[in-house]
Amino acid sequence: MSDKTYSLVEAVNLALARAMADDENVVVLGEDVGVNGGVFRATLGLRERFGRKRVIDTPLAETMLGGLAVGMAAQGLKPVVEIQFMGFIYAAMEHLVSHASRLRNRTRGRLSCPLVMRTPMGAGIRAPEHHSESTEALFAHIPGLRVVVPSSPARAYGLLLAAIDDPDPVLFLEPTRLYRMNPQPLQDDGQRLPLDSCFTLREGQDLTLVSWGASVHETLQAAARLAEQGVEAEVIDVACLKPLDLDTLEASLRKTGRCVIVHEAPRSGGLGGEIAASLYERAWLDLRAPIQRVTAPDIPPPLYRLEQLYLPGVEDILAACETVLDYA
Amino acid sequence: MHDPAIPFTRFLDPDGRPCAALPPCADDAELLERLYRQMVLTRLFDQKAVALQRTGRIGTFAQGLGQEAIGVALGAALRPDDVLVPYYRDTGVQLMRGARMEEVLLYWGGDERGSAFADPLAREDFPICVPIATQALHACGVAAAMRIRDQHRAVATTCGDGATSKGDFLEALNVAGAWQLPVVFIINNNQWAISVPRSLQCGAPTLAQKAVGAGIPGEQVDGNDVLAVYTRIQAALERARQGKGPTLIECLSYRLSDHTTADDASRYRPNEEVSAAWAREPIKRLQAFLASRGNWNEQREQDLIEHCQAQLQLAVERFERIGEPDPDQVFEHLYQRWPTPLAEQREQMRERVARRGGQAHE
């Protein structure tokens, strides 16, 4: 294995370049993705390598980006659209909800929509207003869509390649807080990771910690702290929020009997509730404590002076773990 | 209604008399007969569909009464390898693109198989679009794909006058202009967006001039003069195929019917206005022109109507012979790569069907 390390945003860039080199139907479009290489540099160098026909700077209009991608995809291209921040994705949402996710179904397979919409998500980088949202639950509610969130450079690389390969629309959410954190060695071998599957990052018998995106890091830190006390937590990165791999989560819960779900998004209507309800339906007799959620409160992400207040921290996760471990 | 800076084309006055130098297509007797026959078929299809809705055999239906010239002219101007991205009042053009009458009935009869289009001619065409104006952007995406692949094809997309107020429409014009996409935007300005008249929709004298801000040509045609609509759409599509960029064509027409079968236009629209509009409708206009050239008479009209009615009867019979959809279809086409996590829900749905004795409904 090469020693070269990649941050998450560099892994995204690597996967985009690999996908474009392997399949001429892959095109990248968005605001500032061409000459500028994207505001986070996720598309750096692609324009020089693949040309302006395939790396397209668009007018500043998110609804247009959603609609264009639907039309391109229906023609058999594989558009990878960048929405500059998740806070601006809502204008494109109608095209995801009403068209991209439904085109195959409403034409009984005659037309399809193999598009990927990428967007940075989440708080914690002292960004301006509307640059820190985690509204994945809005999208995970949409039948026909896949919603994927990587939590490491390797998973960003393998999952993005799988998302671009996928014959149906995928929303690919990239946690900005992880963009430049902990670079890892990575082989540019084109290896895809499975969609529709959780990743078990750490095995344990005593309780199950479930998270995705940037919160996976605090969750892993909490697990390390528990291990110091002799408590072995299983840590599962959900990674694919739609559809949910409930089988993996259920199997873990049946083993540990205790579960804490951690997410950065606000609590009400968040996916923690969906996961908890599904686990209760499937496995409540194996539960040894009520499932706990550690989430943001039901508030918009505060501007950056109070931003950390919004984010679930290691101590918050440990407190929830203590609650579930306290049940005999 | 007009603006001196926006070109306006009309060849035939409401009585079918030439009112400008006629275009070459006016001498193409075969084409004109085809346009005429197709307009009549479209109107009779609409009547039949409304009757089927009234007797509960299909659901809500949007007819195009009085606007037949627009779809039929577009259908005649499109080439097989062009792509149509329609809205929901487009039966006329859909039938010319190879959508079968029983498929159109199947769609409005509540079955997705109606948009599967068996005919290869319509293979790349979009199904009708219900969310207003969103289709204009899909058309730009299709056109962008053609540009990326250096294809000399064109896209045509339609919408009503109300759609021009939406951001999607304006964003589509904007990107089409910025990228000089091979797309033709066709507005069926039938003067009414359900109950909202054209005068309340927009302060500009024409809808065509919205093209100006996008840097693309915009023009108006008399949408009830099929020669005018055909000539201008034909020219715009050819420009697009040659890489000369997009065009916006506003077709001035009138919605002689309710918005859909679920609407009652008498609640908001004076009868006198509708009666007056009947004097300008497109079918009588072309019929008068054909007759003036000795190419149409009472007998041919009778024969045509009988022929269309027989075709329609057969289509309705085929429609009614199509069996109930398989309940599993609701999951079948949701994803191509079936996600295993959905297996549980599909099983639960099958149990629901079993509880209902194999039926979809209780």
For B265-305, what is each residue's pLDDT tens digit?
999 999 999 999 999 999 999 999 999 999 999 999 999 99
- Cα–Cα distance between B87 and B211 in angstroms, integer? 19
B181 with B151: CB under 8 angstroms?
A: no
| Contact at CB, A108 and B137, closer than 8 angstroms | no
- Cα–Cα distance between B355 and B346 in angstroms, integer? 14
Opening angle at CA A169, ends A182 and B330, nearest 5: 135
Q: Which residues of chain A have pLDDT under 70?
A: 1-2
Per-residue model confidence as pLDDT tens digits over B174-207: 999 999 999 999 999 999 999 999 999 999 999 9
Tell me phi and psi for residue A191, to 5 degrees.
-70, 120
Give the residue numbers of A annotated as catalytic, written as ranges: 131
Domains of chain A, each with CATH number or no CATH: 5-185 (3.40.50.970), 199-326 (3.40.50.920)
Largest Cα separation within chain B, whole Å, is 69
Shortest distance, CA B17 to any CA of chain A (angstroms): 42
Residue B121's pLDDT band (boundaries 50, 70, 90)?
confident
Candidates A17, A124, A39; CA nearest to A83 is A39
| Contact residues, A window 166-185, toward B, CB-based 8 Å cutoff | 166-168
Where on the phi/psi map is residue B66: left (φ > 0), alpha (ψ -120 to 50), or beta?
left
pLDDT (mean) for B30-43: 98
Indicate the burial class of B257 (C-beta count within 10 angstroms; 0-12, 13-18, 19 or more): buried
- What residues contact residue A83 under an 8 Å CB cut-off, 6+ apart? A30, A62, A65, A89, A92, A117, A118, A119
The ipTM (two decimal places) reads 0.96
Give the three-state DSSP class for B79: coil
- Cα–Cα distance between A323 and A311 in angstroms, integer? 19
| Contact at CB, A109 and B112, closer than 8 angstroms | no
The tokens for B273 are 């206005």
pLDDT (mean) for B8-33: 98
Distance of CA B17 to the CA centre of its chain: 26
In angstroms, the first-to-last Cα distance of chain A is 46
Active site residue B259: yes
Residue A243, preceding peptide bond in cis (omega within 30° of 0)? yes
Q: What is the pLDDT of residue A297?
A: 96
Active site residue B138: no
Residue in A56, A71, A108 nearest the CB of B138: A71
Contact of B325 with chain A, judged by CB distance below 8 Å, is answered with: no
Active site residue B152: no
Contact of B342 with chain A, judged by CB distance below 8 Å, is answered with: yes
- Cα–Cα distance between B169 and B192 in angstroms, integer? 17
- For A1-45, strand residue ranges (E) read 5-6, 26-30
Residues from chain A contacting residue B171 (CB–CB below 8 Å): 59, 61, 63-64, 67
Contact of B181 with chain A, judged by CB distance below 8 Å, is answered with: no
Residues from chain B contacting residue A71 (CB–CB below 8 Å): 85, 137-145
Under 8 Å CB pairs connecting chains A and B tally to: 146
Contact of B106 with chain A, judged by CB distance below 8 Å, is answered with: no
Contact of A27 with chain B, judged by CB distance below 8 Å, is answered with: yes
Shortest distance, CA B323 to any CA of chain A (angstroms): 16
B228 with B10: CB under 8 angstroms?
A: yes
| Contact residues, B window 110-169, toward A, CB-based 8 Å cutoff | 112-113, 115-117, 123-124, 126-127, 130-131, 134, 136-148, 167-168
Shortest distance, CA A64 to any CA of chain B (angstroms): 6
Indicate the burial class of B300 (C-beta count within 10 angstroms; 0-12, 13-18, 19 or more): middle
Q: What is the pLDDT of residue A1?
A: 52
Q: What is the pLDDT of residue B262?
A: 96
Tell me phi and psi for residue A73, to 5 degrees.
-65, -35
CATH classification of B8-321, choosing from 3.40.50.970, 3.30.360.10, 2.40.160.10, 1.10.8.350? 3.40.50.970
Buried b (16+ CB within 10 A) or exposed e, B41-67: bbbbbbebbbebbeeeebeebbbbbbb
Contact of B343 with chain A, judged by CB distance below 8 Å, is answered with: no
Candidates B199, B94, B117; CA nearest to B207 is B199
Q: What is the pLDDT of residue A2?
A: 65
Residues from chain B contacting residue A91 (CB–CB below 8 Å): 167
The tokens for B159 are 């919408």
Tell me phi and psi for residue B312, to 5 degrees.
-65, -40
Is the pLDDT at B138 greater than 90? The verdict is: yes
Q: What is the pLDDT of residue A271?
A: 98
Residue in the structure block whose two tokens are 């790349």: B124
| Contact at CB, A108 and B167, closer than 8 angstroms | no
Q: Which residue of A has its CA nearest to B339?
A: A196
Give the three-state DSSP class for A211: strand
| Contact at CB, A71 and B140, closer than 8 angstroms | yes
Residues from chain B contacting residue A76 (CB–CB below 8 Å): 145
Q: What is the pLDDT of residue B341?
A: 84
Handedness of CA B158, B161, B163, B165 (dihedral sign): positive
Helix axis angle for A215-228 and A314-326, nearest 10°, is: 50
| Contact at CB, B126 and A247, closer than 8 angstroms | no
| Contact at CB, A68 and B140, closer than 8 angstroms | yes
Kindly report the length of chain B: 362
User: What count of other Cβ atoms lies within 10 Å of the Cβ of residue B80?
Assistant: 12
| Contact residues, A window 202-241, toward B, CB-based 8 Å cutoff | none
Mean pLDDT of chain B: 96
| Contact residues, B window 279-308, toward A, CB-based 8 Å cutoff | none
Share of chain B above pLDDT 90, in %: 94
Alpha-helix runs per DSSP H in chain B: 29-54, 68-77, 91-96, 101-108, 134-148, 167-179, 198-201, 226-241, 271-278, 282-292, 298-321, 329-332, 343-355
| Contact at CB, B178 and A71, closer than 8 angstroms | no
Shortest distance, CA A266 to any CA of chain B (angstroms): 25
Per-residue model confidence as pLDDT tens digits over B216-258: 999 999 999 999 999 999 999 999 999 999 999 999 999 999 9
Is the pLDDT at B1 greater than 90? The verdict is: no
Return the domain boundaries, chain B.
8-321, 325-362
Catalytic residue, from B10, B43, B89, B255: name it. Answer: B255
Q: Which residue of B has its CA nearest to A115?
A: B141
Contact of B85 with chain A, judged by CB distance below 8 Å, is answered with: yes
Helix axis angle for B134-148 and A62-74, nearest 10°, is: 60
Per-residue model confidence as pLDDT tens digits over B75-120: 999 999 999 999 999 999 999 999 999 999 999 999 999 999 998 8
Residue in the structure block whose two tokens are 């929709």: B201
Residues from chain A contacting residue B336 (CB–CB below 8 Å): 104, 109, 112, 167-168
Q: What is the pLDDT of residue B340?
A: 86
Q: Which residue of B has its CA nearest to A74?
A: B142
